């Protein structure tokens, strides 16, 4: 198994850094996959194997520029992670509306 990266992600994943992983199969072919940098860093630091339905979440988003330390990462179910992000986006939109209404 060879790991390449981290590379800057695409617009589809919000520009989050990714690693590219190449694995040789028993039949001699190569399988190429990618994973989020935060997920691989969390797995390396904790030694835990994560289910596909488990996301690695940033406790404090801090934008796309940083906050990738292991102390800022936590494993949570995908549904809880989406709910947390939806609440964050709702609060952000509400703040923008309030600011726009003031003269």
Residue 78's nearest CA partner among 55, 52, 48 is 55
On whether residue 26 sits in a domain, the answer given is yes
- Maximum pairwise Cα distance, the chain: 68
Backbone angles phi, psi at 3, to 5 degrees: -115, 130
Mean pLDDT across the stretch 10-23?
A: 87
Entry pTM: 0.73
Average pLDDT, the chain: 85
The helix/strand/coil state of 3 is strand
**Contact criterion met (CB below 8 Å) for 37 and 6:** yes
Structure-block tokens of residue 97: 């509306």
Mean pLDDT across the stretch 17-36?
A: 94
- Give the pLDDT score at 99: 60
Place of tokens 């995908």: 78
Tens digit of each residue's pLDDT (9 = 90 or more) over 48-93? 899 999 999 888 876 555 577 888 899 999 999 999 888 888 876 7
On whether residue 99 sits in a domain, the answer given is no
What residues make up the domain containing 52? 2-77
Number of domains comprising the chain: 1
């Amino acid at each position: 198994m060879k790991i390449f990266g981290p590379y800057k992600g695409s617009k589809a994943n919000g520009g989050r850094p990714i690693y590219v992983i190449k694995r040789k199969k028993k039949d001699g072919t190569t399988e190429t996959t990618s994973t989020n940098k935060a997920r691989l860093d969390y797995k390396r630091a904790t030694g835990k194997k994560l289910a596909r339905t488990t996301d690695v979440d940033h406790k404090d988003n801090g934008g796309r520029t940083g906050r990738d330390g292991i102390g800022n990462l936590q494993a949570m179910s995908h549904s809880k992670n989406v709910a947390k992000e939806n609440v964050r986006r709702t609060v952000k939109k509400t703040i923008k509306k309030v600011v726009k209404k003031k003269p």
